[in-house]
Structure 1
Amino acid sequence: MTATEAAAALEDARLQQHIDRDREDLADDERGPAEVAEWERIAQLLATTGGVYDPKGDAVVQDELAADQRAAEAEQRRLQEQQQLAARADELAALARAGRLDRTVETRPGDESARELLVHRGDYHPVVGSWLAQAFADRSGHYADPATRTAAADSLPDRVRAHAALLAVLARTGAPAGTGELEFAGRLAQADPDATTALAAWLNRVLAPAKLTEAGAGQDGAR
């Protein structure tokens, strides 16, 4: 397209906008003004540079194409992440139903979101929350990293955090716990997370390290 052709296209766009200005159905249509503005830009560009218009040499057009490409890539990544999240949620749900979601299964980054997805889908099993709480208390799986642990804490519901806090302080006692013996911690957290958190904080404060060691040693002797 030459400068003359661009100028003619600009005039046609202005004329069409003038014709359409009294149409009520086009009162809020921004396409007309946008088309005029674009033809004005192209006409000015050709008047300044001369030659024939080529979109490949138009920095504005190239920037728009690059932005479209980045948006498309971001959308593709988002879809992939959604698929991965759904697959992880399916995996956790299956393990929970099979009774195999325990300490042998390590947590991964994003498992907090997988839990939320299960809740949203109506496929949530309480074992998932208990499993996350245990890993958080043990600082195992992806919770072994302090930065990840701090960030993940805000994405865990208060019941899971309260459960983890109580499990952590109970572990400090050194007292052995058989399978299922600490299930009461989860029930307390579900019933009243604030009270459970307060209990965990109180135990941490009043049970000094020396007393905790003595308690563990005394139970070892009793056995």
Structure 2
Amino acid sequence: MTTEEARFDVRQDSRHEDLADDVRGRAGLWEWERIEQLLAVAVPGTVYDPDTDVVVQAELAAEAAAAAAREAELREAARIAARADELQALRELGTLEQTEPRDGDETVRDELTHRAGGYVQADVDAWLAHALAAHLGHYRDPAARETAAGLLPPPLLTHAALLTELSRLVPDADVDQLAFAARLATTEPEATGALAVFLARARS
């Protein structure tokens, strides 16, 4: 197709109401006009080559980047779903508390909450709070703990903060003995946070 043919098609489409707003025809015309302008300023005899057309190459690169991003999103969604299935199985086996969290489990928590219709998964939150307080799994890394502070809800974070201070007061206390901390954090998150700060000040 030539530029004149593209212009003819656009004119023909404009005469039909159902085709008057066809942006593809106009885009094709603009593209032909752009190529004509490129050749007009090129060395005489130059043959158009899309491989050397920076606009075409930029479009191809953008399409490739978008495809790669979509593929990465699909892989991440599959990873989250698989990890959520794993944690659900561990819950049913009663061994979730013996499992160390992994990088990305904050997002998996959101997936489990979504699957439950938006209800907070108290046992999962308690597990993450304990792991955060005890620096288990990927929470051994201070950067991971800092990242978690921006991803996890305030009640869970205040629960972890209170567990941290209580475990320092009573180092040999087990999870069951500190179960009240979760109830405090759920019902009175602000007060629980204040209590954790107070205990930290008293300790220092």
Tell me whether the two structures share a fold, i.e. TM-score over 0.5.
yes
Deviation per CA, 1:77-110, whole angstroms, max 9, x where unpaired? 11111111111111111111211012x4221110
Segments of 4+ moved more than 4 angstroms: none
Please identify, of 123-132 and 165-174, the stretch whose mean Cα deviation from structure 2 is larger.
123-132
When residues 38 and 179 of structure 1 are mapped into structure 2, their CA distance, relative to the original with a 3 A threshold, is: closer
For 2:125, which of 112, 124, 129 is the aligned residue? Answer: 129
Deviation per CA, 1:123-177, whole angstroms, max 9, x where unpaired? 8642211111011111222112112211111100111101101101101113532
> What is the CA distance between 1:63 and its match in structure 2?
2.1
Unpaired runs of at least 5, structure 2:
none
Deviation per CA, 1:17-38, whole angstroms, max 9, x where unpaired? 2333354434443223211110
Number of paired residues?
A: 200
In terms of Rg, which structure is larger? 1
Give % identity.
50
The residue that corresponds to 2:23 in the other structure is 30
For 1:81, which of 54, 76, 79 is the aligned residue? Answer: 76
1:29-178 maps to which residues of 2 (within 5 A)?
29-49=22-42, 50-102=45-97, 104-122=98-116, 125-178=121-174
Unpaired runs of at least 5, structure 1:
1-5, 210-223
Counterparts of 2:181 and 2:94, CA distance in 1: 19
With normalisation by structure 1, the TM-score equals: 0.81
For the 8 Å contact 1:96–1:125, the answer to whether it is kept is: no
> What is the CA distance between 1:185 and its match in structure 2?
0.7
When residues 175 and 84 of structure 1 are mapped into structure 2, their CA distance, relative to the original with a 3 A threshold, is: closer
1:202 counterpart = 2:202: no
The DSSP-based 3-state class of the residue aligned with 2:102 is coil
Counterparts of 2:78 and 2:164, CA distance in 1: 33
Alignment RMSD: 2.0
Counterparts of 1:179 and 1:41, CA distance in 2: 70
